[in-house]
Amino acid sequence: MIGVTVLGATGSIGRSTLDVLGRHRDRYRVVALTANSQVDKLYEQCLEFRPAYAVMGDATAAERLAARLRDSAPDIIVLAGTSGLEQVAALPEVEYVMAAIVGAAGLLPTLAAARAGKHVLLANKEALVMSGRLFMEAIQQNNAVLLPIDSEHNAIFQCMPSGFSTGFEHVGVRRILLTASGGPFRTTPLEQLAAVTPEQAVAHPNWSMGRKISVDSATMMNKGLEVIEACWLFNTTPAQVQVVLHPQSVIHSMVEYVDGSVLAQLGNPDMRTPIAHALAWPERMESGVGSLDIFSVARLDFSAPDLNRFPCLRLAVEAMESGGTSSAILNAANEIAVESFLQRRIAYTAIPQVIEAVLMEVTAHDADSMEQILADDAAARMAAERQVAMRGLRH
Ligand code: NAD
Ligand code: MG
């Protein structure tokens, strides 16, 4: 039996992961489940999967969960906070860690899994965006195995030749074609974007996801974060990553070789496919996802993204190119801007404005220590809060 920790079990990726694990109870044992504040949801998951540990975001939520488990499952050990998350990411009886916490909160527990030499199933792209170099070093130095869960990166991983970490030129790869749906506002007239609501922004045409990543998909910051993620995962630069608008979300990404071959991975837009791929790798197993109905798909469209419509994509690529902690600053500013938009404090079109202003204001440094990354993350959050206050909507 393979021991698994699911960080962020109550979220969209966490629930899909438990759906897949529930189909293979003879092969995987759930050792730990974690959630931020959803006590009721984690309680239900604890009763179903009987983990040895459950972790809540803070002590109050942990006490509430422990009280509920006292009669039904008193043997489950309840922990709280970042130290609890780091502990269950590094348990000796755990081999696989699903890193599915959203945002910067996932960084330290995901890094703890890497340092403990686990199979890290990485959904939490923000961890790599913030600390790509340190994270990849932790993977290599501790013989951990990094398997991408993000559907595009999982597709690229499936299309890449072995030995790709030595660099494209050594393995005959020319470039990555990173596909993007374009989100709900791909064709909305630009002058209407200032008035779009959080409800419209989170209504993704093809994928059902958490609120933050749904807004990131609408602005295409998600694709920008994914360009950065691809550079770290596959040891390349933004110049070798072409973003392709593909509204059907059937091709999940492609890899072009120097001989002109282009390999693509296709499938229904359902995260259980990359999750099952990473759990079973290098084997294959059932995920619960049905056959792709290629006849009803009928056609596949492709176009280049318009950077005037999607300034966040440009900002992310520029941050990666300028290096150091720039992408951590970008990520932090984006987290504050998106949360402020979801709280109706700023307009949708203010999201890239806040991020661009923060990137101009906050000085980036070499990203060679976690202290520096976290300091610049904190400075960017403060600067972003000031920008939000300046651009705030009045009701
Ligand atoms: P979600 O909002 O649905 O779930 C987030 C999970 O993280 C929840 O379990 C929540 O309790 C936990 N969490 C949130 N804040 C926390 C904190 N401060 N401390 C501890 N736990 C915390 O998000 P999601 O859509 O499942 O996305 C999770 C990650 O996977 C994100 O990084 C996202 O970019 C990535 N991802 C998601 C999808 C998708 O289809 N949903 C696809 C690709 C990548
Ligand atoms: Mg993705």
**Averaged pLDDT for residues 148-172:** 97
Q: Identify whether residues 165 and 119 lie together within a single domain.
A: no
Q: Is residue 279 part of a domain?
A: no
Q: Is residue 9 part of a domain?
A: yes
pLDDT confidence band for 394 (50 / 70 / 90): low
Q: Which of 124, 148, 172 is the last residue of a domain?
A: 148
Q: Identify whether residues 138 and 160 lie together within a single domain.
A: no
How many whole angstroms from 257 Cα to the centroid of ligand 1?
Answer: 33
CB 159 within 8 Å of CB 255: yes
How far apart CA 326 and CA 233 sit, in angstroms, is 18
pLDDT confidence band for 85 (50 / 70 / 90): very high
The answer, yes or no, to whether residue 395 has pLDDT greater than 60, is: no
How far apart CA 300 and CA 137 sit, in angstroms, is 38
Q: Is residue 182 part of a domain?
A: yes
The answer, yes or no, to whether residue 79 has pLDDT greater than 80, is: yes
Q: What is the pTM of this model?
A: 0.97
Token pair listed for 239: 């110049």
Q: Quote the mean pLDDT of the chain.
A: 97
- Give me the pLDDT at residue 207, please: 83
Q: Is residue 229 part of a domain?
A: yes
- Give me the pLDDT at residue 204, please: 84
pLDDT confidence band for 5 (50 / 70 / 90): very high
Q: Is residue 381 part of a domain?
A: yes
Residue to probe by mutation, ligand 1, list 86, 101, 377, most atoms within 8 Å of CB = 101
How far apart CA 388 and CA 385 sit, in angstroms, is 5
Token pair listed for 317: 């690529």
How many whole angstroms from 293 Cα to the centroid of ligand 1?
Answer: 29
How many whole angstroms from 321 Cα to the centroid of ligand 1?
Answer: 26
pLDDT confidence band for 392 (50 / 70 / 90): confident
Looking at all shown ligands, the one closest to residue 209's CA atom is 1
Residue range 184-211, pLDDT digits in tens: 999 999 999 999 999 999 998 888 899 9
Q: Identify whether residues 226 and 265 lie together within a single domain.
A: yes
Looking at all shown ligands, the one closest to residue 33's CA atom is 1
Token pair listed for 328: 């951590």
Residue range 240-264, pLDDT digits in tens: 999 999 999 999 999 999 999 999 9
pLDDT confidence band for 334 (50 / 70 / 90): very high
**Averaged pLDDT for residues 123-137:** 97
How far apart CA 318 and CA 315 sit, in angstroms, is 5
Q: What's the domain range around 169?
A: 156-269+289-297
**Averaged pLDDT for residues 79-108:** 97
Residue to probe by mutation, ligand 1, list 213, 289, 331, most atoms within 8 Å of CB = 213
Q: Is residue 187 part of a domain?
A: yes
Please, which residues have CB less than 5 A from ligand 2, an ion?
A: 150-152
Q: Identify whether residues 117 and 210 lie together within a single domain.
A: no
Q: Identify whether residues 119 and 240 lie together within a single domain.
A: no
Side-chain-side CA neighbours of residue 152 (13 Å): 28
Which of ligand 1's atoms lies nearest the C-alpha of 103? Answer: 32
Cα torsion at 117, 123, 126, 127 (round to 10°)? 0
Q: Is residue 211 part of a domain?
A: yes
Looking at all shown ligands, the one closest to residue 100's CA atom is 1
CB 135 within 8 Å of CB 228: no
How many whole angstroms from 147 Cα to the centroid of ligand 1?
Answer: 17
Q: Identify whether residues 253 and 134 lie together within a single domain.
A: no
- Give me the pLDDT at residue 150, please: 98
Q: Going by CA atoms, what residue is nearest to atom 42 of ligand 1?
A: 150
**Averaged pLDDT for residues 16-30:** 98
Q: Identify whether residues 203 and 265 lie together within a single domain.
A: yes
Whole-Å CA distances, 93 to 26, 47, 52, 278? 16, 20, 10, 19
Looking at all shown ligands, the one closest to residue 102's CA atom is 1
- Structural domains of the chain, count: 3
The answer, yes or no, to whether residue 270 has pLDDT greater than 80, is: yes
Residue range 295-333, pLDDT digits in tens: 999 999 999 999 999 999 999 999 999 999 999 999 999
> What is the CB < 6 Å shell around ligand 1?
8-14, 35-36, 38, 57, 100-102, 105, 123-126, 150, 207, 209-210, 213, 271
Q: Going by CA atoms, what residue is nearest to atom 7 of ligand 1?
A: 101
Q: Is residue 306 part of a domain?
A: no
Question: For position 349, which CATH number holds?
Answer: 1.10.1740.10
Q: Which of 148, 171, 198 is the last residue of a domain?
A: 148
How far apart CA 278 and CA 267 sit, in angstroms, is 15
